[in-house]
Amino acid sequence: MTKSIYIASAEPYSGKSVIALGLVAMLLGRAQKIGYFKPIIPLAPQEQPDSHIQTILSHFQLPQAYADTYAFTRQDAMQHLKDGRQGDMLDAIISRFKSLEAAYDYTVVEGSDFAGPATAFEFETNRLIAKNLNAPVLLLVSGDNKTTAEIVQDTLNFWRAYQSHDIQVLAVVANRVQSAQTADVKQLLVAQLPENILVSVIPAEQTLENPTVNDIFECLNGRLLFGREHLANQVDHFVTGAMQVPNFLNYLKENVLIVTPGDRGDIIISSLQANLSASYPRVAGIVLTAGSIPEEPVMRLIEGLQNVVPILTVDSGTFETTNNIASVKARITPDNSKKIQLAIETFNKYVDVPSLEKMLVTFHSDAMTPHMFQYQLTQWAKRQRKNIVLPEGNDDRILQATARLISQQLVNITLLGDPGEIAASVKRLGIDVDLSQVNIISPANSTFYDDYVQTLYELRKSKNVTLEMARDLMTDVSYFGTMMVYKGHADGMVSGAVHTTQHTIRPALQFIKTKPGISTVSSIFFMCLADRVSVFGDCAVNPDPTAEELAEIAISSADNSSRFGIEPRVALLSYSSGTSGSGEDVEKVRRATQLVREKRPDLKVEGPIQYDAAVDPVVGRQKLPGSEVAGQASVLIFPDLNTGNNTYKAVQRETGALAIGPMLQGLNKPVNDLSRGCTVDDVFNTVIITAIQSQDS
């Protein structure tokens, strides 16, 4: 079951408040704790609080602080994009969302309002946020001033924009549709959208769409003279009072707002009298233009009346004021309980609530975006803080990554090296890290040294390792760090920024060894692509695995994929798909696939299969129709090291993908290798993965 739903609109003034109110009311019928989240709000709270947030929190009395309902203002979000910090923005939004998800039974997420320039930015940002939150989406399209064909086409285009990015759409709502169009719009949408998408059409509701006097008062930035208690009056029409009273009275309609200069006492008095008369429609309010107010006798007359409609004065002229009033859009505010209740009733009347509830309960998504993956890694690491040893303690990248890891309290770090040299490097680099929080060990001077030497000798004497050789080996940081892991003085090790893969792995193979039932140590990379995370294996260890080894690599990779939150759909890659090719290399992959199916019938596996058929849904359907894996593989197993290593590097370089790893799999305790060309981010991510691995050791 999903714990969230994302409301995304295609344009401004589409009526998101109706949907948000309806959803929260619906969910409160199923759960006690409902959270509300609007990732990007138009303005900072001190400038102008968001009316949607205020209304939701106030009406439903949600126990949530305003500060927890959003992550960025629109200006802040735009600045992040301008500075090339989109990733930082998404990370912050995911973090805030996950905090709400953990605290509440369900979270309603509302996309931004398109309240300003650069609406293309908002459209793409909403789609990006929905994708990274992995939340099912309700799409909302406005039918205001559109033909039936335009409403249908706008809705289909909006749906395709989300569907093309593999974002799960639960429902589409066409709102503010003229009553005469509703049946046709619904029929056409149901016919052209997939059956599993709930279609709703909400007709235009004047009471919801028209503003109140208070909405107009706030937008005009005027001064209120009378009638504060009636600011919630609804405005359905407005008229300019610039004619003689008898003619003017003929233009009054129900809930009319009268715009007139302040010196027209005759219009003002006749308007107030008409509002009291049973023969004339109700007057919503009066706006006095040009900064003028009635003369003293008229003011005294008004002051003596009871239940006076709102009268406000503005500095702008009559023509400008009427244009400004025409542009005012209705809002549902916390004080307007009538509109709030009508919005909820409208939602319940035109949306199939039981079907939507059922879809939310049964919805499940296996999608994992790179930002969500990296957020999950940090959260998993924090759950059980582990001690990771980094043998190359004087490397600049290692020290910079250590500072980040310590500052975020993700792991405990042990650095191997000379304490004085490490302290000097930290000072030279200007790194902000408290070295008292880091365990620094010089292997030859360590209190563990003699014990480690003796242990290594006992473990390797059958391999002709003498005590003197053990002493020499134990001055090697790779051997010392691996022995720390073996003895339980560290939970895992990460090395390779300076040393070769063989130098890093050799000690682990010699005395940490493999897990029971596993004979092959292999590796995987977590490839963080633009919109998903894939697992690539083996790209770092085994040059030419046999069919049996390849099957073991596939099974280990699938298990680790599950461990890290990615549903394994395993593709064993080759230069042909299915039965289309033959040859020794293809037969090896075919045999490995059969072994995986025999050993692990629970896994979804396909092979041999070509890379394009494995990851492209269209190609996958063409080459292997009916396959559970083709077109949607998440775990890609390469037939040899040459193919795997070159492919992961090509994908990384050509797409800008982040490659996290290699992560070694099959060892009794986690030891992981870095590339000598690694970045600080590579070190940071590999240490976190090692810490998570060690939680299972």
Per-position b or e across 244-261, b if 16+ CB within 10 A of its CB: eeeebbeebeebbbbbbb
Q: What is the DSSP letter of 453?
A: H
Residue 394 and residue 256 share a domain: no
Distance CA 324, CA 33 (A): 41
Is 658 a residue whose pLDDT tops 80?
A: yes
Candidates 260, 257, 267; CA nearest to 234 is 257
Averaged pLDDT, 348-360: 89
pLDDT tens digits, one per residue of 231-269: 888 888 888 988 888 888 888 988 899 999 988 888 889
Is 301 a residue whose pLDDT tops 80?
A: yes
Q: pLDDT band at residue 119, thresholds of 50, 70 and 90?
A: low
Q: pLDDT band at residue 364, thresholds of 50, 70 and 90?
A: low
Structure token pair of residue 671:
């030891």
* CA-to-CA separations, 25 to 30, 239, 335, 547, in angstroms, rounded: 9, 37, 17, 57
* CA-to-CA separations, 85 to 77, 79, 379, 404, 432, in angstroms, rounded: 9, 8, 21, 18, 22
Q: pLDDT band at residue 306, thresholds of 50, 70 and 90?
A: confident
Distance CA 372, CA 370 (A): 5
Cβ neighbourhood burial of 379 (10 Å; 0-12, 13-18, 19+) = middle
Looking at residue 191, its pLDDT comes to 95
Candidates 370, 402, 693; CA nearest to 524 is 693
Averaged pLDDT, 310-332: 86
Q: pLDDT band at residue 455, thresholds of 50, 70 and 90?
A: very high
Distance CA 680, CA 260 (A): 68
Looking at residue 241, its pLDDT comes to 86
Looking at residue 540, its pLDDT comes to 86
- CATH value at residue 81: 3.40.50.300
36 phi, psi to nearest 5 deg: -130, 135
> Can you give the pTM of this predicted structure?
0.66
Distance CA 473, CA 607 (A): 43
Residue 294 and residue 169 share a domain: no
Residue 427 and residue 316 share a domain: no
Identify the helix (H) or strand (E) that includes residue 479. helix 477-487
For residues 307 and 692, which has the higher predicted lDDT (pLDDT)? Answer: 692
For residues 1 and 407, which has the higher predicted lDDT (pLDDT)? Answer: 407
Residue 490 and residue 397 share a domain: yes
- Give 312-326 as a DSSP string: EE-SS-HHHHHHHHH
Strands 198-203 and 223-226: unpaired
Please name the amino acid found at residue 408. Answer: Q
Contact (Cβ atoms closer than 8 angstroms) between residue 507 and residue 482: yes
- CATH value at residue 594: 3.40.50.10750
Averaged pLDDT, 587-602: 94
Residue 361 and residue 371 share a domain: no
Q: pLDDT band at residue 367, thresholds of 50, 70 and 90?
A: low
Question: If phi over 0 gives left and psi between -120 and 50 gives alpha, with beta otherwise, what is residue 535?
Answer: beta
Cβ neighbourhood burial of 602 (10 Å; 0-12, 13-18, 19+) = exposed
Is 1 a residue whose pLDDT tops 80?
A: no
Q: Which residues contact 367 (CB under 8 A, 6 or more apart)?
A: 131, 134, 166, 168, 532
Averaged pLDDT, 661-675: 90
Please name the amino acid found at residue 582. Answer: S
Side-chain half-sphere CA neighbours of 521 within 13 A: 24
Please name the amino acid found at residue 31. Answer: A
Q: pLDDT band at residue 434, thresholds of 50, 70 and 90?
A: confident
With the CA atoms of 402, 407, 409 and 410 taken in that order, what torsion angle do they form, in degrees rounded to the nearest 10? -40
Among 285-299, 573-587, 600-614, where is mean pLDDT lowest?
573-587
Residue 638 and residue 500 share a domain: no
Averaged pLDDT, 504-512: 90
Candidates 153, 142, 214, 210; CA nearest to 178 is 142
Over the Cα atoms of the chain, what is R_g? 33
With the CA atoms of 367, 370, 375 and 379 taken in that order, what torsion angle do they form, in degrees rounded to the nearest 10? 70
Looking at residue 366, its pLDDT comes to 64
In a 3-state reduction of DSSP, which class is residue 168?
Answer: coil
Averaged pLDDT, 492-501: 91
Residue 316 and residue 238 share a domain: yes
Please give the residue range of the domain that contains residue 628: 517-666
Looking at residue 416, its pLDDT comes to 95
Q: pLDDT band at residue 291, thresholds of 50, 70 and 90?
A: confident
Distance CA 597, CA 648 (A): 26
Residue 525 and residue 460 share a domain: no
Distance CA 694, CA 208 (A): 57
Q: pLDDT band at residue 116, thresholds of 50, 70 and 90?
A: low
Per-position b or e across 178-192, b if 16+ CB within 10 A of its CB: beebbeebbebbeee
Identify each DSSP E strand in 20-69 by its residue range. 34-41
Looking at residue 155, its pLDDT comes to 94
Q: pLDDT band at residue 373, thresholds of 50, 70 and 90?
A: confident
Whether the link from the prior residue into 297 is cis, omega within 30° of 0, is no
- CATH value at residue 442: 3.40.50.10950
Give the angle subtended at the CA of 377 by the CAs of 373 and 378, to the nearest 5°.
125
Looking at residue 333, its pLDDT comes to 81
Distance CA 404, CA 679 (A): 13
Please name the amino acid found at residue 100. Answer: L
Q: Which residues contact 296 (CB under 8 A, 6 or more apart)?
A: none
Residue 277 and residue 178 share a domain: no
* CA-to-CA separations, 224 to 285, 286, 318, 522, in angstroms, rounded: 11, 10, 17, 75
Candidates 99, 161, 91, 166; CA nearest to 136 is 166
691 phi, psi to nearest 5 deg: -65, -40
Q: pLDDT band at residue 115, thresholds of 50, 70 and 90?
A: low
Residue 56 and residue 83 share a domain: yes
In a 3-state reduction of DSSP, which class is residue 534?
Answer: strand
Is 539 a residue whose pLDDT tops 80?
A: yes
Looking at residue 396, its pLDDT comes to 92
In a 3-state reduction of DSSP, which class is residue 564?
Answer: coil
Estimate to the nearest angstrom the gap between the alpha carbon of 599 and the chain centroid: 37
Looking at residue 547, its pLDDT comes to 94
Looking at residue 112, its pLDDT comes to 83
Query: What's the order of all strands across the beta sheet hosting 439-441?
Result: 439-441, 412-416, 387-390, 492-495, 671-673
Q: pLDDT band at residue 609, thresholds of 50, 70 and 90?
A: very high
Q: Match 């219009």 to its residue by tokens.
A: 267
Looking at residue 114, its pLDDT comes to 65
Q: Which residues contact 218 (CB under 8 A, 6 or more apart)?
A: none
Averaged pLDDT, 644-655: 90
Candidates 85, 72, 71, 78; CA nearest to 116 is 78
Residue 638 and residue 548 share a domain: yes
pLDDT tens digits, one per residue of 70-79: 999 988 988 8
Torsion sign over Cα 377, 382, 383, 387: positive
Is 365 a residue whose pLDDT tops 80?
A: no
Question: If phi over 0 gives left and psi between -120 and 50 gives alpha, with beta otherwise, what is residue 118?
Answer: left
Residue 186 and residue 46 share a domain: yes
Q: Which of 307, 329, 351 is the last residue of a domain?
A: 329
Distance CA 420, CA 159 (A): 61
Please name the amino acid found at residue 76. Answer: D
Distance CA 20, CA 24 (A): 6
Is 578 a residue whose pLDDT tops 90?
A: no
Our count of domains for the chain comes to 4
* Arithmetic mean of pLDDT over the chain: 89
Looking at residue 541, its pLDDT comes to 87
